[in-house]
């Protein structure tokens, strides 16, 4: 089922033996277009320290009560490696994290989660057929915050399209289906979803997203690279 990420910010997180905090953010891989981690705001429990949780640890998500069950204990989480929220997560950080829980790293399975219940990402490949990089692929720039990208301008081939408002995500595979975009006055400020296959790169230096579409492409009724927001969202 497709979900907007922003609707989950602030949801409670319940470990096997008690509450651990709330959803603060998500980290995504902008090559695989996959949500890799949830960032937990632990509040006073861990002296406001932030920790990462992989979708491997997710249990039932009660959307009515806004509670996500986590299949870990408070002690396991307390002993997990700390993260520095002021910089991107490095590959070394991830290796330490997966080693702590005894999980196989998702990148070792070619973009798969590597466990039953987490299929291969269903994100579309880039339109030009080339691997999507989006930034200098040094280890310390491997993952990015979804919250940080909200507000980035969307640059079409013929001008500014609008700005990133949210991420549309499949809550079973945690693949990113597209970016929710708030269009400008040229399109009556409507919200649309630009599919990931049409995103050429995310420019973190100037806070923009370049897409391989024109405004005329957006307005075409038969353009499947851009979809309207589903009514239930």
Q: Which of 194, 189, 202 is nearest to 218 (CA)?
A: 194
d(CA 224, CA 67): 34
**Which has the higher per-residue pLDDT, 47 or 163?**
163
Beta bridge partners of 23: 40
Interval 33-74: pLDDT, tens: 999 899 998 888 888 777 889 999 999 999 899 999 999 999
d(CA 25, CA 83): 13
**Which has the higher per-residue pLDDT, 129 or 205?**
205
- The domain defined by 2-109 folds into SH3 type barrels. (2.30.30)
Q: Which of 28, 10, 53 is nearest to 209 (CA)?
A: 28
Establish whether domains 2-109 and 150-228 are of one fold. yes
Domain coordinates in residue numbering, the chain:
2-109, 150-228
Check: pTM over 0.75? Answer yes or no: yes
Burial 137-153 (b: 16+ CB within 10 A, else e): eeeebbbbbbbebbebb
How would residue 108 be classed by pLDDT, with cut points 50, 70 and 90?
A: low
d(CA 218, CA 144): 27
76: tokens are 């396991």
152: tokens are 């980035």
Residues of the chain above pLDDT 70, percent: 76
Q: Is the pLDDT of residue 126 over 50?
A: no
Q: Is the pLDDT of residue 13 over 90?
A: yes
The beta strands (E) that lie in the chain are given as 2-4, 12-15, 18-29, 34-41, 50-53, 58-62, 67-70, 144-145, 153-156, 159-170, 176-183, 191-195, 199-203, 208-211, 226-228
In CATH, what class is 150-228?
A: mainly beta
* Mean per-residue pLDDT, 126-148: 55
3-state secondary structure of 4: strand
Contact 208, 153 (CB under 8 A): yes
How would residue 213 be classed by pLDDT, with cut points 50, 70 and 90?
A: very high
Interval 77-88: pLDDT, tens: 988 877 666 666
**Which has the higher per-residue pLDDT, 16 or 141?**
16
Largest CA distance in the chain: 54
């Amino acid at each position: 089922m497709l979900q907007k990420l922003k609707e989950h910010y602030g949801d409670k997180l319940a470990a096997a033996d008690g509450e651990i905090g709330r959803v603060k953010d998500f980290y995504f891989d902008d090559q695989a277009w996959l949500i890799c981690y949830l960032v937990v705001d632990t509040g006073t429990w861990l002296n406001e320290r932030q920790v990462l949780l992989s979708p491997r640890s997710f249990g039932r998500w009660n959307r009515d009560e806004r509670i996500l069950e986590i299949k870990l204990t408070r002690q396991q989480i307390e002993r997990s490696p700390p993260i520095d929220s002021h910089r991107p997560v490095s590959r070394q950080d991830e290796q330490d994290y997966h080693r702590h829980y005894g999980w196989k790293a998702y990148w070792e399975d070619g973009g798969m989660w590597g466990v039953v219940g987490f299929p291969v990402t269903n994100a579309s490949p880039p339109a030009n057929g080339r691997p999507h990089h989006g930034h200098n692929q040094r280890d310390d720039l491997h993952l990015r915050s979804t919250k940080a990208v909200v507000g980035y301008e969307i640059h079409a081939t013929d001008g500014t399209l609008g700005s990133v408002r949210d991420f549309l995500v499949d809550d079973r595979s945690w693949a990113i289906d597209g970016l929710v975009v708030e269009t400008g006055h040229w399109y009556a400020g409507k919200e649309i979803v630009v599919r990931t296959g049409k995103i050429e790169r995310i420019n973190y230096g100037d806070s923009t997203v370049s897409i391989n579409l024109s405004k005329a492409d957006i307005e075409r009724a038969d353009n499947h690279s851009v979809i309207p927001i589903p009514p239930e969202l």
